[in-house]
Structure 1
């Protein structure tokens, strides 16, 4: 007791040594965090090695309710935020698949940075590299004329078989390409679809994930329709013809979104 009265600065120093690391990690978890860009999928907006600050307050930070991620499951709640993710926003999210993955799985340290091209309920239709169906937004998304010039160069430079190679997401029947894709509706909580062959091809892995989250026991989906329980997003890289994104792996659950990169 006498020591604390004689050396009050020791108490303040101890409080700082304990408090600053706590504030640092609380800030990273709930306010903002920094991520390093790897790859070229967001060129020319973001380049490999560039650091970006992700704002978690805009959408609201996630709080994990389960910290065992070995099974690929995600249990979390999202605190209220300032606004929802919009078409045109650049966001960081946990990639729902590894390359060649057959089912959605959560990997806490496997994150992508892409631009949102479709929010829940939007009909995404890409024609010749332009978004012609995506809610209120129409046109090419990115950094204006710089993005237009870059994409036109890539379309010229890449061989046709590369620039038009579609992913496995849509299946072979649609024969969608990276430049001409859709139309397809982004799943929205409360939206109901008929379980025909097209819906199962487009939404089968989404439905499987939602049923896993709800811990459904039956492997078969009861009934001839399905009502989505979660909101989903559609992301595309600004390096339009050289990006591994939703045109390949499909929709991203809202809970997988880490936060928004402002002013991009």
Structure 2
């Protein structure tokens, strides 16, 4: 599913703003403020000399204007004042969303029932390694994605878009999806039937199961009306690693790639259709719903 497609270049915009406001802040601290101080000192010296002459002539003067003059001379121009005040805030936001946590909004139903439309989620940016912002190049290796993780990544067909799915296959795995059941490396996953899921928007029911994927239990949905086979998969890179039939498909995940599927299995365009996700497209691990304005009970962690 697509996330924040409208704000696809937000990280770049934030980076540019950080650099621009940082340059203005730096110039003000080390150059403009010194110029203002020098001009203020000159104006104060002239003020003091003028008042000293008046006092020598026996004229009573009011020295209270000296503080106002100094304040006016040292006052930052509006454009510098705003830039300087915004810089630490923008820099902090850029650091947090680039290296620690980034917020996203769920716009579609491909991860129902785990994630709902309108969920505002947090993504851990460092779980899978430290990456440089903008270019998304990994510089420090930490952990690898595991089966069962809910992961945000760059859409392979259009890297300007962020998608979210569940990791069902890691490098080297043989993934078989047969009659709407997953088999990983020859071992069929266990499925516990749950009460049917009601889609309140469309007033339709779907079969609901508790799937156990490498020890991670999570709910999935199946639409009995949808076929088991994959309809019209794209000619994606390394598609020779996959074979399709009327019951489903089998794929061997290449090195450095991951196989992703949505929990709403029959309503998700995922790796079954557009292929594998390369490691360099990973954004982070989704782990927490921090708000849903339509249903605040949604707040909390998820698997």
- Normalised by the shorter chain, which TM-score bucket? 0.5 to 0.7
Cross-structure match for 1:164: 229
Q: TM-score, normalised by structure 2?
A: 0.54
Corresponding position: 1:139 with 2:189: yes
Which residue, out of 95, 100, 107, partners 1:38? Answer: 107
Which residue, out of 241, 248, 256, partners 2:281? Answer: 256
- The structure with the largest strand share of the pair is 2
- How far apart in 2 are the matches of 1:113 and 1:62? 18
How large is the Cα RMSD of the aligned pairs? 3.8
In the TM superposition, what is the alpha-carbon distance from 1:168 to its structure 2 partner?
1.8
Q: TM-score, normalised by structure 1?
A: 0.61
SS at match of 1:79: strand
Structure 2: unaligned runs, 5 residues or longer: 1-36, 41-69, 77-81, 196-207, 211-218, 288-301
Q: Relative contact order (C-alpha < 8 Å, sep 6+): which is higher?
A: 1
1:210-239 deviations in whole A, cap 9, x for unaligned? xxxxxxxxxxxxxxxxxxxxx111000000
Which consecutive aligned stretches of 4+ in structure 1 deviate over 6 angstroms post-superposition?
A: none
Count of residues in correspondence between the two structures: 195
Preserved CA contact (<8 Å) 1:58 1:81:
no
Preserved CA contact (<8 Å) 1:167 1:247:
no
Structure 1: unaligned runs, 5 residues or longer: 68-74, 98-105, 189-230
* Counterparts in 2 of 1:128 and 1:107: CA distance versus 1, 3 Å: same
- The structure with the largest helix share of the pair is 2
- How far apart in 1 are the matches of 2:141 and 2:248? 34
Preserved CA contact (<8 Å) 1:59 1:80:
no
1:12-57 deviations in whole A, cap 9, x for unaligned? x986642121111111111110111111110000011111111011
In the TM superposition, what is the alpha-carbon distance from 1:107 to its structure 2 partner?
2.6
